[in-house]
């Protein structure tokens, strides 16, 4: 079919899918298709996001369970659509009493709690823009985001359970607030009962609920292209990059993805086993399932607490039908032989979608045979924060998702030949695409639109002879640290700016607390002989501090490896993969990697790839 016909068919598909939502005012034009980031969706339409996620389901079945929740210590809670709608209305009215209005911003420094979902939807009820910040963020990174976001209210909790310990969120929030300004009130969920300091402007969550009890709020139907939420993508030279998503397009996208690729029945239970601070956790754990009228499961903690069987117990206990997770989580589950999935009844599972990174064939096969037990579809999801989260799944569901027009192009913008690597682009309009980037530098928007008429993903890919597209990785390697993307290239460049460093590389190493941490590898400049050479421990401290000062604390390497040399005759991606393998040992502040050890790791990687 000609490309133009594909384009029209994609728009027709979105017109059909958007009709599954309630619109306070219908659109006059589906998409005006302006070039670059200025395209508008559902022109002149208005939509009430909270109504679509809650109130419109009350006429059908107000007692259907909307939200199942289990805390890491084992406590549980469930809310029906009626109960969740009532709590959202009360909390929205309470926020209104604190001065929150349409267009204001509210920061949520919270873990995976029912109150987090309530706060998100209460902001939507008011037309306020919410931003869920990862509970693993340290105080300095939190301060940077609060300074950029400028929220009127910060909602946090006393402490958050993670891996059997309590993270002191309120204390971190207080430290961050001391370094910024403009927040009028802090609302605190009493989750763990630990002692916390109280300051002027602090309120408990229950106090805000009580202040909103009995108050009536008029529903807020936003223009479809008004902002709904902000999610922070990455740090660029100490400046956080916030991606803004629009109300109408984002909800239409999340609803479509959920109905098409995850669940097929209102009685289904969906579990997005990812952090709610990640956009996938919001799209596929909150807005998608609730707008479709299904049940979502939220789990607070880590899947190895108190035992490695926790994931299988959750699926069995709550009858999970659809699971969304990452290959990293799946690999961890696979590597825990003391808790095989065969120990639990997993017959409820019908759909597994993994996203966020490439998956290895062994883990994919394990998901199909051991977890899905041959009865369950296992699909590879691809997407981006800028695009709302998952855009495509492979194998495609039936009926398929609307076509984003994925293509692989070379530097000249021409379609790459099969097997030839190039940049992955989107040729068709996509309603889940971001509305704006907060405070971008001059090159930010150019990075997304440097191929005329296409959105450039920044992903390296190639088209296989059978037509399938294989994602090879990021063109600029990034590492997910405490829920935020850190550019490995920027860390490498910062290291090579230091006068003691001749060459450098930076990679991400798995970490049980924060997901990944940065590890630096450096080749030092030769000794000039005028001054005694400092100890490697001194140099490692200097380099970590230099990266911290240049890029911020999230980019600060946990460990520094000293290399004899970096080979010039090997592909950089192969070298980076080998260095990643070498840092999977227990973290050390510094270590030495001989030329022979690096050569062995490169050889092992090359053999694995072949």
> Tens digit of pLDDT for each residue in 487-519?
888 888 889 888 889 999 988 887 766 667 888
pLDDT of residue 440: 61
> Tens digit of pLDDT for each residue in 49-84?
999 999 999 999 999 999 999 999 999 999 999 999
Given a contact cutoff of 8 angstroms between Cβ atoms, the answer to whether 219 and 242 are in contact is: no
> Tens digit of pLDDT for each residue in 358-410?
888 999 999 999 999 989 999 999 999 999 999 999 999 988 999 999 999 99
Given a contact cutoff of 8 angstroms between Cβ atoms, the answer to whether 156 and 175 are in contact is: no
Identify the three-state secondary structure at position 187. strand
pTM (two decimals): 0.87
| 594 CB-contact burial (10 Å; exposed 0-12 / middle 13-18 / buried 19+) | exposed
Over residues 530-544, the mean pLDDT reads 81
Going by DSSP bridges, is the β-strand pair 322-325/295-299 parallel, antiparallel, or unpaired?
A: unpaired
The whole-chain average pLDDT of the chain stands at 90
Given a contact cutoff of 8 angstroms between Cβ atoms, the answer to whether 189 and 109 are in contact is: no
> Tens digit of pLDDT for each residue in 249-285?
999 999 999 999 998 888 999 999 999 999 999 999 9
Given a contact cutoff of 8 angstroms between Cβ atoms, the answer to whether 88 and 54 are in contact is: yes
Q: What is the dihedral of CA 430, 431, 435, 441, to 10 degrees?
A: -10
Please, what's the b/e burial string for 213-226 (b: 16 or more CB within 10 A of its CB; e: otherwise)? eeeebeebbbbbbb
Which of 162, 114, 108, 168 is CA-nearest to residue 134? 108
Over residues 599-603, the mean pLDDT reads 87
Q: How far is the CA of 231 from the CAs of 96, 253, 356, 484, 522, in angstroms? A: 23, 16, 16, 10, 33
pLDDT of residue 224: 97
> Tens digit of pLDDT for each residue in 109-149?
999 999 999 999 999 999 999 999 999 888 988 999 999 99
Residue 333's H or E segment, with its range, is: helix 327-334
- Residue 331 clears pLDDT 60, i.e. is over it: yes
Angle at CA 127, nearest 5°, toward 212 and 60?
75
Compute and round to an integer the Cα radius of gyration of the chain: 24
Please provide residue 228's backbone torsions phi and psi, each rounded to the nearest 5 degrees.
-105, -45
Say how many C-beta atoms besides its own lie within 10 A of residue 196's C-beta.
Answer: 20
pLDDT of residue 2: 46
Angle at CA 113, nearest 5°, toward 221 and 85?
35
Over residues 148-168, the mean pLDDT reads 95
Q: Where are the beta strands (DSSP E) in 361-411?
A: 377-384, 389-394, 406-409
pLDDT of residue 455: 93
| 313 CB-contact burial (10 Å; exposed 0-12 / middle 13-18 / buried 19+) | middle
Of 13-22, 136-145, 152-161, the one with minimum mean pLDDT is 136-145
Please provide residue 321's backbone torsions phi and psi, each rounded to the nearest 5 degrees.
-100, -30
β-strand partners of 474:
459
> Tens digit of pLDDT for each residue in 207-256?
999 999 999 888 899 999 999 999 998 666 667 889 999 999 999 999 99
Query: In whole angstroms, what is the distance from residue 480 CA to residue 232 CA?
Result: 12
Helices 169-177 and 139-149: angle between axes, nearest 10 degrees = 60
Q: How far is the CA of 494 from the CAs of 101, 479, 487, 510, 545, in angstroms? A: 42, 16, 11, 22, 11
Please name each of the domains of the chain with its CATH number: 3-448 (3.40.50.12780), 478-609 (3.30.300.30)
Tell which phi-psi region holds residue 578, choosing left (phi > 0), alpha (psi between -120 and 50) or beta.
alpha
- Residue 530 clears pLDDT 80, i.e. is over it: no
Over residues 163-169, the mean pLDDT reads 93
| 518 CB-contact burial (10 Å; exposed 0-12 / middle 13-18 / buried 19+) | buried
Structure tokens at 313: 């117990």
Residue of 54 and 551 predicted with greater confidence: 54
DSSP code, position 131: E
Spacing of C-alpha 306 from chain mean position: 25
Given a contact cutoff of 8 angstroms between Cβ atoms, the answer to whether 108 and 131 are in contact is: yes
- Residue 531 clears pLDDT 70, i.e. is over it: no
Query: In whole angstroms, what is the distance from residue 44 CA to residue 608 CA?
Result: 54
Strand order of the β-sheet with 377-384 is 76-80, 65-70, 295-299, 269-272, 322-325, 351-354, 377-384, 389-394
Which of 258, 259, 262 is CA-nearest to residue 321? 262
Given a contact cutoff of 8 angstroms between Cβ atoms, the answer to whether 287 and 255 are in contact is: yes
Please name the residues in contact with 384: beta carbons below 8 A apart, sequence gap of 6 or more: 391, 457, 459
Structure tokens at 57: 């389901």
Over residues 451-468, the mean pLDDT reads 89
Helices 81-97 and 205-212: angle between axes, nearest 10 degrees = 90
């Amino acid at each position: 079919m000609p490309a133009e016909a594909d384009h029209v068919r994609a728009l027709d598909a979105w017109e059909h899918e958007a009709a599954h939502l309630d619109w306070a005012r219908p659109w006059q034009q589906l998409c005006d298709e302006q070039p670059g980031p200025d395209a508008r969706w559902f022109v002149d339409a208005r939509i009430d996001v909270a109504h679509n996620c809650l109130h419109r389901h009350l006429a059908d079945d107000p007692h259907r369970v909307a939200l199942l929740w289990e805390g890491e210590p084992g406590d549980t809670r469930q809310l029906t659509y009626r109960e969740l709608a009532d709590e959202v209305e009360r909390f929205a009215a309470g926020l209104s009493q604190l001065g929150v209005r349409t267009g204001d911003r509210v920061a949520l420094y919270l873990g995976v709690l029912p109150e987090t979902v309530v706060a998100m939807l209460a902001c939507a009820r008011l037309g306020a823009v919410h931003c869920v910040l990862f509970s693993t963020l340290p105080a300095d990174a939190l301060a940077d985001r609060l300074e950029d976001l400028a929220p009127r209210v910060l909602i946090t909790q006393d402490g958050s359970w993670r891996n059997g310990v309590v993270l002191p969120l309120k204390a971190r929030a207080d430290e961050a607030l001391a370094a910024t300004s403009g927040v009028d009130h802090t609302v605190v969920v009493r989750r763990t009962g630990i002692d916390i300091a109280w300051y002027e402007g602090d309120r408990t969550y229950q106090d805000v609920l009580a202040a909103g009890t009995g108050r009536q709020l008029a529903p807020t139907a936003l223009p479809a292209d008004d902002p709904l939420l902000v999610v922070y993508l990455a740090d660029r030279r100490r400046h956080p990059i916030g991606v803004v998503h629009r109300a109408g397009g984002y909800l239409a996208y999340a609803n479509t993805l959920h109905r098409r690729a995850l669940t097929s029945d209102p009685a289904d239970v969906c579990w997005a086993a990812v952090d709610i601070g990640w956009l996938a956790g919001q799209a596929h754990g909150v807005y998608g399932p609730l707008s479709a009228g299904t049940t979502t499961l939220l789990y607070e903690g880590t899947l190895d607490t108190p035992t490695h069987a926790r994931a299988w117990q959750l699926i069995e206990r709550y009858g999970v039908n659809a699971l969304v997770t990452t290959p990293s989580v799946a690999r961890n589950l696979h590597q825990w032989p003391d808790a095989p999935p065969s120990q639990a009844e997993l017959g409820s599972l019908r759909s597994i979608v993994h996203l966020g990174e490439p998956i290895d064939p062994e883990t994919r096969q394990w998901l199909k045979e051991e977890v899905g037990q041959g009865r369950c579809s296992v699909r590879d999801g691809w997407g981006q924060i800028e695009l709302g989260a998952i855009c495509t799944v492979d194998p495609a569901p039936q009926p398929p998702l609307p076509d984003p027009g994925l293509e692989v192009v070379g530097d000249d913008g021409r379609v790459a030949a099969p097997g030839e690597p190039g940049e992955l682009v989107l040729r068709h309009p996509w309603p889940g695409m971001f509305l704006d980037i907060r405070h971008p530098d001059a090159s930010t928007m150019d990075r997304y639109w440097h191929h005329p008429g296409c959105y450039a993903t920044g992903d390296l890919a190639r088209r296989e002879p059978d037509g399938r597209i294989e994602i090879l990785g990021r063109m600029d390697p990034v590492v997910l640290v405490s829920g935020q993307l850190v550019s490995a290239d920027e860390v490498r460049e910062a290291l090579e700016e230091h006068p003691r460093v001749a060459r450098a590389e930076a990679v991400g190493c798995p970490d049980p607390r924060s997901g990944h941490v940065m590890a630096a590898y450096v080749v030092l400049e030769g000794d000039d002989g005028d001054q005694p050479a400092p100890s490697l421990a001194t140099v490692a401290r200097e380099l970590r501090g230099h990266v911290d000062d240049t890029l911020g604390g999230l980019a600060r390497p946990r460990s520094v490896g000293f290399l004899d040399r970096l080979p010039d005759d090997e592909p950089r991606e192969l070298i980076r993969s080998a260095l990643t393998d070498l840092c999977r040992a227990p973290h050390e502040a510094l270590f030495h990697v001989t030329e022979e050890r690096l050569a062995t790791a490169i050889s092992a990687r090359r053999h694995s790839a072949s």
